[in-house]
Amino acid sequence: MKLTLKIWRQKNAQAKGSLETYQVNDVDGDMSFLEMLDVLNADLIENGQDPVEFDHDCREGICGSCSLQINGRPHGPKRHITTCQLHMRSFNDGDTVVIEPWRAKAFPVIKDLVVDRTAFDRIQQAGGYISVNTSGNTIDANSIPVEKDDADEAFNSATCIGCGACVAACKNASAMLFTSAKVSQFALLPQGEVEASRRVLNMVNQMDKEGFGACSNTGACYIECPKDISLENIARINREYLKASVEG
């Protein structure tokens, strides 16, 4: 299979980027998308050119690093997968594939297809945790009973890998799906009640401080999320935020 790749090349956040065109030949349908980029980079290096920079780590759909906009869609044309899980059999011989980084003010380009997503880390650090006193003897496992439905919902929320596809898909570059998932995984459990008010206020305030846009409830974030994070989390964070604001 032969493909024409139009790839965004940009030296750094200050530089002016542009789409550069490359040809790749002998692409196997069983290759992953990242393996195809590896082949391209091997050719570029062999010809004395700079390889295309892109993020990756586990290549198993777990880490969320492989954040690429492919033909206008985060992670490409398939639902519920990350870029590293996308195989080249999803494309046809002779196709033109446009590959870009996430487009968001809060995700500045580092180089080429690599963006700085540490804004997500700062949102998490603002309140996405539970404080536990571990001084002294090792504590026993938490024995507070949790309703199965709540435990299941909390687990589903916790499966968010922070890839940023929700931000890239949103016309406002909103981080509400990510932030609401991180709030929900604790808000649904009794262990998270102690810091609930402080958590939601701090995380939402940090989200706004990072420059993410407002949520307009179009649902694009949910459609493009590789882990199928529910929109119900956004409704929950709105309730939690209102409650925390009223309580002061």
Domains of the chain: 3-111 (3.10.20.30), 117-133+145-247 (1.10.1060.10)
Question: Length of the chain in residues, anyone?
Answer: 248
pLDDT value at 145 more than 90: no
Q: What pLDDT, in 10s, does the model give residues 96-105? A: 999 999 999 9
Per-residue pLDDT, averaged over 173-195, amounts to 95
The pLDDT mean for the chain works out to 94
Q: What pLDDT, in 10s, does the model give residues 129-144? A: 888 766 666 666 667 8
Share of the chain above pLDDT 90, in %: 90
Per-residue pLDDT, averaged over 29-51, amounts to 97
pLDDT value at 20 more than 80: yes
Per-residue pLDDT, averaged over 117-140, amounts to 83
